[in-house]
Chain A
């Protein structure tokens, strides 16, 4: 059926008729056969690494052991990695820090992005220039961004210079050396880099809100805020969920910019889950343990995101 429907909409009907047209059932079978290799490939790409990871997480295997990963069963330790993990305070600390960063950055990016998107719904002078400028942070390679903010937040760097100029005092905060300010600096960098993405997605959502319905609400006497709350937000529900989901997942994996700015330091003050995993993998080389961490994160993140989405769906329907 689908193949026929699209054929009918083709601009050149006669051309379509000139080719032999298969019937509906043939089409469905043919479609399945043609996509089979791709489906198998996707299955392989998605499922194989997961199974491999599960397997290794149940062993003490490390590349230094001199045996291939498929032989890891020789170092079988059942659930030891998982029980170790439960007692690993550095892991829990990293997880908590990651959650904190996420809880601050994602809402901040969302509100800033939404505010900017609303601004961009109106016309103003230089809109197109600002639009292009808005998108620059997103295009900067995270490693470069990390280096940029590393420079900005030096104790003799521009951030302190500007603060000095504004306050008239001689500000010299050692941003990246102090545990609290380091975390703040890292979050500022993340917000700087990812607000534009929020802005873009939310702007697309705003543009898609049916103008007639907003006008109808205006004519019924609704104020700006009432229109926003009762018409615009509900219409953007899906796109807001998508935007938040993308950023929550991405933010949870925060690594590159941060690692260049602070390397996870001072101490473990900015060590997020990704940084922690990286260190364990690269420095401690206990891969079985890493696999266990990764799996726990993957599963908990999946549960978190699906819970959040279903909560949001329910809330909007109520």
Chain B
């Protein structure tokens, strides 16, 4: 149970800067996801927390204690590798016992603790099995158990679900989240999959190109992304982002989307914030799930290019040219390819971004 504090953390590899100043406070017992595309610096950050890399600049504090110069075996950090790094030449029992044995604990105590954790993780029937041929869900539990047995203050997980097949991933996500809740340990979870971060994390740190973009709860980053990158990266599909310019109309401030026409008037508070940006190009953003279609009703007319029916959801692909819109519906929507529909966007879900800087335009 430890709070982690990253202060002005910088990491360079030769001429390449993997991480350009990172400041992040991870609270005691929190499940924090470091989320971003490959090369965003999330793994570098994690490796520095574990002590596998040392920072070029800045400090890492565990409960206020500077970890600089503390060797990776002495930080009290449990690490679950992407490929689990199970000791394949040992059986399940010896893998679990490893951390206790290297500390020289008496074999009786080792045995007691191995059995306890095996019981907890439902590995007891497998204790004598060689670990080389276990299925990935068991490997994952084993990797967690092997780290957990030495009772680390911090758990670091490096994309532990990326080798798991899609159907099973949902189950593993729930189980992992539930385990963390029981262990009550500070957990840092690195992933490029926004779905994993959304479903499991207490808070998400979204990163791109070595820069921390936004920190917040899953719903905060989903509902109020600070910039275009976060808006596009979070959500499946990501936020619809349409280029346009602000324009006045008799009903209030609207956005002119070129080929697609004009939007409904902006909500008053957003309009007020946008006034200061008047004349500049903006990006008009809204979530695909906050759209309704009608054959005749109010809204912007858009051609339907393609309808994807994927089980519980239906994704309608709308728009023309560069101005593409996706809309997500329950599986019973009535829309046909190659027709034109009126698209109504829930006013409360509209977000505006400065087209030049990509930064969100917020109500003051």
Contact = CB atoms under 8 A, between A and B. Distances in A.
A234 interface: yes
B52 A220 contact: no
B50 A230 contact: no
Given A210-B85, A231-B87, A219 B79 contact: yes
| Interface size, A (range) | 10 to 19
Given A213-B85, A235-B89, A219 B98 contact: no
Interface in A203-224: 210, 212-213, 215-223
B356 interface: no
Contact of B98 (A212, A222, A237): A222
Nearest to B149: A220
Contact of B85 (A216, A221, A226, A234): A216
Contact of A223 (B78, B85, B102): B102
Interface string B50-82: 101000000000000000000011100111010
A212 B102 contact: no
A221 B73 contact: yes
A221 B102 contact: yes
B81 A220 contact: no
Interface centre among B79, B98, B102, B147 (most CB of A within 10 A): B102
Nearest to A317: B89
Contact of A218 (B72, B78, B146): B72
A220 B150 contact: yes
B103 interface: yes
Contact of B87 (A213, A223, A226, A237): A213
Contacts of A213: 85-88
A108 B102 CA distance: 29
A229 to B, nearest CB: 10
A219 B102 contact: no
Contacts of B73: 218-223
Nearest to A220: B99
B83 interface: yes
A221 B103 CA distance: 7
Nearest to B103: A221
Given A230-B98, A234-B89, A235-B89, A216 B81 contact: yes
A235 B150 CA distance: 24
Contacts of B146: 216, 220
Contacts of B78: 219
Contacts of A222: 73, 98, 102
A220 B85 CA distance: 12
A220 B50 contact: no
Contact of B74 (A221, A226, A235, A237): A221
A221 B79 CA distance: 12
A217 B89 contact: no
Interface in B80-112: 81, 83, 85-90, 98-99, 102-103
Given A212-B81, A212-B83, A221 B99 contact: yes
A86 B102 CA distance: 52
Contacts, number: 57
A215 B84 CA distance: 11
A219 B87 contact: no
Interface in A179-220: 210, 212-213, 215-220
Chain A binding surface SS class: helix
A231 B72 CA distance: 17
Nearest to B156: A219
Most buried by A among B78, B81, B150: B81
A212 B87 contact: no
Interface in B37-58: 50, 52
Given A231-B87, A235-B89, A216 B102 contact: no
A216 B86 CA distance: 8
A237 to B, nearest CB: 8
Contacts of A231: 87
Interface in B3-57: 50, 52
Contacts of A230: 87, 98, 102
A219 B156 CA distance: 11
Nearest to B99: A220
B115 to A, nearest CB: 18
Contact of A215 (B52, B88, B103, B150): B52
Contacts of B72: 215, 218-219
B132 to A, nearest CB: 12
A129 B196 CA distance: 49
Contacts of B99: 220-221
A215 to B, nearest CB: 7
Contacts of B98: 217, 220, 222, 230
A261 B90 CA distance: 48
A264 to B, nearest CB: 45
Given A215-B52, A226-B102, A221 B87 contact: no
Given A213-B86, A222-B73, 10 more contacts: A210-B85, A215-B72, A215-B81, A216-B79, A217-B102, A219-B78, A220-B73, A220-B150, A222-B98, A234-B90
21 contacts: A212-B83, A213-B88, A215-B79, A216-B87, A217-B98, A217-B102, A218-B73, A219-B73, A219-B147, A220-B73, A220-B99, A220-B150, A221-B73, A221-B103, A222-B73, A222-B98, A226-B102, A230-B87, A230-B102, A235-B89, A237-B89
Closest 8 CB pairs of A and B: A212-B85, A220-B99, A216-B85, A222-B102, A234-B89, A221-B73, A219-B79, A226-B102
